[in-house]
């Protein structure tokens, strides 16, 4: 084989290697570029993800003895920190029947309704930001599952000693999957972290960052703040459970930033076409 032939073959191999390298780099870049989502894929993904989340959360051993011991320990920690006022809030709000009943229904319903509504709003109005923001929510929820497994925690309403009122039982409202007739359908000892706070913060920050109407942005901020009052007043969570939910959300934001190379609410320029409904490729 002549030198010219060897040189030609080597050149072809180098071109092939370079093409393969470019293809290998293009695939991760394409996967990581937020694009206009497909409706069928997103509906299926959200439904499957919530099913898996519920399955894993409720499959975690309840460990009642350890959960109650952890609740006592956390309550003592809050007393040392001077923030153990959940009992005062619980009893004060429980004395106003219409208010606590409303909070029971708030706790049971808005957690799901608002979160799904924000996902739909993102899909319709901000498709280029949808994938990264959805990843933040999923990573937040995944981190919460680790908390349920490694730190089983009884909510205040299940603590011994009569310090707290289970407002659902007292007022006979459907206010929690972990109270009344529905308590056997859910793990009652998965209070840390609070996903009512994790999800409501996700909703609130998303609305505040992306909404154009001032009143909508204000409502975005009020939603997690109101949720914090509700979870404490109904004795479903401690203050520190809320802090745990916020930490999980921070983890979710970090995951989205690492994957997409930018915060979920400030996507790369590459998604500008998708944002305006332009010719961006359709991909989940």
User: Residue 12: is its pLDDT beyond 70?
Assistant: no
- Whether omega for the bond prior to residue 193 falls within 30 degrees of 0, making it cis, is yes
Token pair for residue 64?
């009642």
Most confident option among 24-28, 47-51, 63-67: 63-67
Q: Which of 13-17, 124-128, 169-173 has the lowest mean pLDDT?
A: 13-17
| pLDDT at residue number 53 | 66
Cα–Cα dist 47/252, whole Å: 19
- Residues facing 36 on adjacent strands: 282
The residue with greater pLDDT, 10 or 38, is: 38
* Domain assignments of the chain as residue spans, ordered by start: 1-32, 36-275
Token pair for residue 204?
């609130």
Is residue 196 within 8 A of residue 107, CB to CB? The reply is yes
What DSSP designation does 178 have? T
Residues 23-36: what's their mean pLDDT?
49
| pLDDT at residue number 58 | 61
What DSSP designation does 213 have? S
pLDDT per residue over 72-108, tens digit each?
Answer: 999 999 999 999 999 999 999 999 999 999 999 999 9
Nearest to 179 by CA among 167, 193, 191: 167
Q: Which of 156-160, 167-171, 183-187, 248-252 has the lowest mean pLDDT?
A: 183-187
The residue with greater pLDDT, 274 or 141, is: 141
Is residue 151 within 8 A of residue 62, CB to CB? The reply is no
């Amino acid at each position: 084989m002549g030198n010219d032939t060897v040189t030609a073959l080597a050149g072809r191999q180098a071109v092939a290697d370079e093409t393969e390298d470019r293809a290998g780099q293009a695939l991760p870049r394409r996967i990581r570029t937020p694009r206009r989502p497909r409706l069928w894929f997103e509906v299926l993904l959200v439904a499957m993800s919530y099913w898996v989340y519920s399955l894993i959360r409720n499959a975690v051993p309840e460990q009642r003895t350890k959960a109650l011991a952890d609740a006592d320990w956390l309550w003592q920690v809050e007393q040392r920190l001077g923030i153990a006022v959940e009992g005062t809030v619980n009893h004060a709000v429980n004395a106003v029947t219409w208010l606590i009943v409303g909070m029971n229904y708030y706790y049971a319903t808005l957690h799901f309704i608002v979160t799904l509504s924000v996902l739909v709003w993102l899909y319709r109005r901000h498709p280029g930001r949808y994938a990264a923001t959805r990843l933040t929510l999923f990573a937040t929820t995944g981190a919460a599952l680790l908390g349920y497994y490694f730190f089983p925690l009884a909510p205040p309403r299940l603590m011994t000693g009569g310090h707290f009122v289970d407002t659902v039982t007292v007022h006979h409202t459907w206010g929690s999957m972990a109270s009344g007739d529905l308590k056997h359908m859910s793990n009652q000892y998965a209070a840390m972290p609070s996903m009512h706070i994790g999800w409501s913060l996700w909703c609130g920050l998303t609305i505040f960052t992306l909404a154009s109407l001032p009143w909508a942005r204000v409502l975005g901020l009020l939603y997690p703040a109101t949720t914090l009052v509700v979870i404490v007043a109904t004795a479903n969570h401690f203050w520190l459970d809320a802090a745990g939910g916020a930490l999980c959300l921070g983890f979710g934001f970090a995951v989205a930033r690492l994957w997409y190379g930018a915060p979920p609410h400030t996507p790369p320029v590459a998604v500008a076409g998708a944002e305006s409904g332009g010719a961006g490729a359709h991909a989940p």
